């Protein structure tokens, strides 16, 4: 069962995404900040990370960049899941190392399809 780390400072968003993932057979772990997300990637080695952008402290772009540039964590794909839907945000996310980019409210089928595409 693939493990997914959700990094989001919104408890409501975590609950929504966790429900979609659990219903589809994924094991879910969560972090409420970019800093905690990086710690959990190192400690738990999830199969994929779902990363919000707008968070206090280390934002999702910064956390994604750190994960993708660190040899110990660069193999864990990051999918950005955010309310920011500008093309410049999407491109910046890719430049930071994100393998996918979804906007909230996230469509459950698209979320699962995107996760499966980065895992294969």
Q: What is the pTM of this model?
A: 0.97
* Percent of the chain whose predicted confidence (pLDDT) is above 90: 98
pLDDT on residue 120 = 84
Q: Where are the domains of the chain?
A: 3-115
Q: How far apart are CA 20 and CA 57, in angstroms?
A: 27
What mean pLDDT is reported for the chain?
A: 97
pLDDT at 14: 97
Note the pLDDT tens digit of each residue in 32-65.
Answer: 999 999 999 999 999 999 999 999 999 999 999 9
List % helix, strand, coil for the chain (3-state, nearest 5).
Answer: 45, 20, 35
pLDDT digits (tens, 9 = 90+) for 101-116: 999 999 999 999 999 9
Tell me what pLDDT residue 89 has.
Answer: 95
CATH of domain 3-115: 3.40.50.2300
The pLDDT of residue 1: 87
Report which of 8, 26, 10, 31 is spatially closest to residue 80, judged by C-alpha positions.
8
């Amino acid at each position: 069962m693939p493990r997914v780390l959700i990094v989001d400072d919104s408890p409501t968003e975590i609950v929504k995404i966790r429900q979609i993932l659990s219903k589809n057979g994924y094991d879910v772990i969560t972090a409420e900040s970019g800093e905690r997300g990086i710690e959990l990637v190192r400690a738990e080695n999830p199969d994929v990370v779902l990363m919000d952008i707008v968070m206090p402290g280390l934002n999702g772009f910064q956390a994604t960049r750190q994960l993708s540039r660190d040899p110990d964590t660069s193999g864990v794909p990051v999918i950005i899941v955010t309310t920011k839907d500008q093309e410049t945000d999407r491109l910046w996310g890719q430049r930071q190392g994100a393998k996918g980019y979804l906007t909230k409210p996230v469509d459950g089928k698209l979320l699962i399809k995107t996760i499966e595409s980065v895992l294969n």
